[in-house]
Chains A and B, each alone.
Chain A
């Protein structure tokens, strides 16, 4: 080891201080010659003769200096440098070609680096500074009440205590929730992500506070903890200018006024899955400020996520059994409090310890699967790009065949030649890799925001893992693109290369090119089929009737934020908000509502005569709304009527049920006029007065999910101040004016937020939208590359066959014959690729099954369109070569060779 290091030092010196080494060599040799001449002179020779003889005895100085330099170990370096210079010269000479290749590779490598970063964060990389992430688990609760399996990641506070106290397999059990809350006051108020956490949360990480301290277990005790807050580093920088005197200052976090006790270190983002937290507050203090002391005893408010770390040496199965036991006891405790939970024997609560990443847990969304697919797609696209570049380099290597043969004949070693060729692909790959990383850094931001909305800080250039991946990929690209030209030139036969006319190397080369082209076509088909399936799924999803209009509707919610309002004041606020919204220009209608799709839903117990357990017939979402609700949302009333001003607090209770609900509860019978008891088994009858269309408000695909709507006047308590607004024109343009208008009605520190309904619905479509866009982009790219590849192949082969074509034309071949000759050549290759790609796609498609929306993975339409697209591209690529062949003058063609 030491020897290698010292040798490296020597070589480095030779490299970097070359001038010094040269001067020393001169001095050393001059000394030798002088010293020898001195000796000869001492023996009696005259000076000039002595110097002459010294030089003879010494040998050729230039040669010896050359050998000495070689001994410095720089030969490899120098020839490499020569190769590099030569390569750069060659690449600069063909700027267009070089640019094309580098751009192709940059796109490929950039896309791969971006997708790697995304998939790595979604599925592989543990949150920053987490200790022993392989022992850290998210806790899931599986139950099967009503025979329906349910999985829960959000648990109530007492449930957390039951797990923390009732288990012995874990050294840390922490609970947390990251939620959007208003932080600050007045003009500086911002709605930002805040992590509400138990004190043990910080024990999961190796992070030390940048300033002050984290909060302790003593500050997180039932019932009201201590009002303390730890700032996130980025928030500290952006809102407090990184000032060190923030410690001890008060900060309003939602309803809690807390004292700043510390600042988290840079890069610390907690569990990193719902945004970069601006602040961390103790659960007890926060929950108490929000809901009073009840939070600590009741099992109804399921809001916390649990993270547990196994003690070292405790096997997963043991820990899981321990957890399940604790959850069982917890369930019985809850059932004792409220029999509505059902017996533990029925519910069979079971704990699961899943990996830290939500996307690897039992309730992963389609996002991670789509991201993984797209990462694979990016890799395939890169392969296609490599094939194209290999083809271009192959063509060039072939074009230089005689030059290469000449150099071999002149004694350049083959090894040296191969190094030269390898250098060319390496330089191209490095340029592509570098440009790709820049592309990923600046252009990949949009992609990352789609999949990792939480990690605004997810960068490329500053991320070691992504850089390493991109570096490895670049070398792989160099290898893939360089291999074929190198293999080809290894077999260059001197005599063959010098022989005039068409050698057999030509055929070998075009066989290799044709092989690459078939590969490209195959992969294009694969990607385009994927694109087609995703586009169709997205189309089906977008044309899915949700039971309401999405685009023209806005949603406004007030956050009282600690302002205590009496029922009468809430009712007054609701009236004022509704009136203000209805009077706004650009607003068609508005209505207060209790449930908001994909945001918050309310449910109550239902009892219907003749049905044992209504819950077994589906899940029923309660909506309560003011008159005008159905017009505002665009929900159609299929039969009967909607409620209106006549259905007041004291009038008979009425309800509009969804079509599906009517069929689930009264199959085959007329639902109008039926009696529904809401909330209590002996509640007064609520009469069904209308049937509305099916509404999807929690899950896009769950057919068992139904909804029923009652008038706000019969809701029983004042409605939470939130409302829907239907815009006349562009809903997005109305967001800010509406917010400003409604904010004027808000008392004290309370504030209002306005969102488009689209922004609530869209995250549920995001996986498909993204899949469709990315598959199509990469599919299109590979198709273009394949078409270009085919074009150049046909060009070259037509040029090669000029003489043959000339003879054919001279012998009377018709235009059609010549065109057919060229076109069928390309078509044959593409057809082969289409067949192979189609077979491959059929084989691989079932793994996409779970992501398809009302779409068969064997949809013949998709396969047909893709095949037609490729054939069209093949024809397009054949036009120019065929045209050139047609205009061939036989006499010229024959004379040329």
Chain B
């Protein structure tokens, strides 16, 4: 395990939308997936996921449904909605623009 970063403000929403875009997932699976995909670089207190999930649900970008988990228990699954998909596209584009800009500045001579 290398260095670990705290998440920049506001990016948690983007990451959740991206992960949920793959398939409907419950909270724990989302947290595990974030952990894995980032090669354990991003430290996200697992609990802080939930206020974000509820906020996204209120906004109508994801919707929740109770279903059966892989270990046969009732779990709340989140799925990306149509407007969530648009939001994901918008935020991804914005993020890319930001990182490109930052890289350009860093790359100057």
A31 near B26 with CB under 8 A, answer yes
Q: How far is the CA of A10 from the CA of B61 in the complex (A)?
A: 12
A67 within 8 A of B: yes
Q: Report the contact-size class of chain B (Cβ under 8 Å from the partner).
A: 20 to 34
Q: Which of A14, A59, A70 contacts B46 (CB 8 A)?
A: A59
Question: Shortest CB–CB separation between residue A53 and chain B, in angstroms?
Answer: 11
Number of contact residues on A: which range applies?
Answer: 20 to 34
On whether the beta carbons of A28 and B51 are closer than 8 Å, the reply is no
CA distance A401 to B32 in the complex (A): 53
A64 within 8 A of B: yes
Complex CA gap A39/B54 in Å reads 25
**In whole angstroms, how far apart are the Cα atoms of A61 and B49 in the complex?**
12
Is A57 an interface position by the 8 A CB rule? yes
Contact A59 B55 (CB under 8 A): no
Binary interface profile of B, 34-53, with partner A (CB < 8 Å = 1, else 0)?
00000000000111101110
Q: Is A60 an interface residue (CB 8 A)?
A: yes
Measured CB to CB, the closest approach of chain A to B19, in angstroms, equals 15
Residues of B within 8 Å of A887, CB to CB, are none
Q: Is B74 an interface position by the 8 A CB rule? A: yes
Query: Given A3-B83, A31-B69, A31-B73: A68 and B26 within 8 A (CB)?
Result: no
Is the Cβ of B46 less than 8 Å from the Cβ of A27? no
Identify the closest chain A residue to B81 (Cβ). A6
- Cross-interface CB contact of B28 among A25, A35, A61, A70, cutoff 8 Å: A35
Nearest A residue to B63, CB-CB: A6
Residues of chain B from 68 to 83 with CB closer than 8 A to chain A in the complex: 69, 71, 73-76, 83
A38 within 8 A of B: yes
Determine whether A36 belongs to the interface, using a CB cutoff of 8 Å to chain B: yes
Interface pair A28/B58, CB less than 8 Å apart: no
Given contacts A11-B58, A31-B75, contact A36 B28 (CB under 8 A): yes
Rounded to whole angstroms, the CA-CA distance of A651 and B71 in the bound complex is 126
B79 vs chain A, min Cβ distance (A) = 14
Q: How far is the CA of A464 from the CA of B52 in the complex (A)?
A: 44
Cα–Cα distance between A31 and B71 once the two chains are bound (Å): 11
Q: In the complex, A769→B75 CA distance in Å?
A: 77
**Chain A residue contacts of B24, Cβ below 8 A:** none
Does chain B have a CB within 8 A of A146? Answer: no
Kindly supply a per-residue 1/0 record for chain A positions 349-376, scoring 1 wherever the CB is within 8 Å of any chain B CB and 0 otherwise: 0000000000000000000000000000
How many Å from the CB of B98 to the closest CB on chain A? Answer: 25
* B90 located at the interface, meaning its Cβ lies under 8 Å from any Cβ of chain A in the complex: no
- B69 in contact with A70 (CB, 8 Å): no
Interface positions, chain A 45-62, Cβ under 8 Å from B, are 57-61
A59 & B45 in contact (Cβ 8 Å cutoff):
yes
Q: A32-B27, A60-B47 are in contact. Are A3 and B69 (CB under 8 A)?
A: no
Cβ contact within 8 Å between A38 and B76:
no
Task: List the A side residues contacting B71 at CB < 8 Å.
Answer: 35, 38
A residues in contact with B76, CB < 8 Å:
24, 27-28, 31
Q: Would A71 and B47 count as touching, CB distance under 8 A?
A: no
Which residues from A are CB-within-8-Å of B26?
A: 28, 31-32
By the criterion CB–CB under 8 Å, are A59 and B60 in contact?
no
Taken together as a complex, chains A and B put the C-alpha atoms of A34 and B46 apart, in Å, by 13
Q: Do residues A68 and B50 form an inter-chain contact, with CB atoms below 8 A?
A: yes
Measured CA separation A73–B32 after assembly (Å): 27
Whether the pair A64, B27 counts as a contact (CB closer than 8 A) is no
Residue A170, interface by CB 8 Å: no
B73 → chain A, closest Cβ, in Å? 6
Cβ contacts under 8 Å, A613 to chain B:
none
- Residues from chain B with a CB closer than 8 A to the CB of A60 are 47
Q: Can you identify 24 A-B contacts, CB atoms within 8 angstroms?
A: A3-B59, A6-B60, A7-B60, A10-B58, A24-B66, A25-B50, A27-B76, A29-B47, A29-B50, A31-B26, A31-B69, A32-B26, A32-B46, A34-B73, A35-B69, A35-B73, A58-B45, A58-B47, A60-B47, A61-B47, A63-B47, A67-B48, A68-B50, A68-B51
Q: Which residues of A contact B (CB under 8 A)?
A: 2-3, 6-7, 10-11, 14, 24-25, 27-29, 31-32, 34-36, 38-39, 57-61, 63-64, 67-68, 70-73
- In the complex, besides A10-B57, A32-B31, 19 extra interface pairs with C-beta distance below 8 angstroms are A3-B83, A7-B59, A7-B60, A31-B69, A32-B46, A32-B50, A35-B28, A35-B71, A35-B75, A36-B46, A39-B32, A58-B47, A59-B47, A60-B47, A64-B50, A67-B50, A71-B58, A72-B54, A72-B58
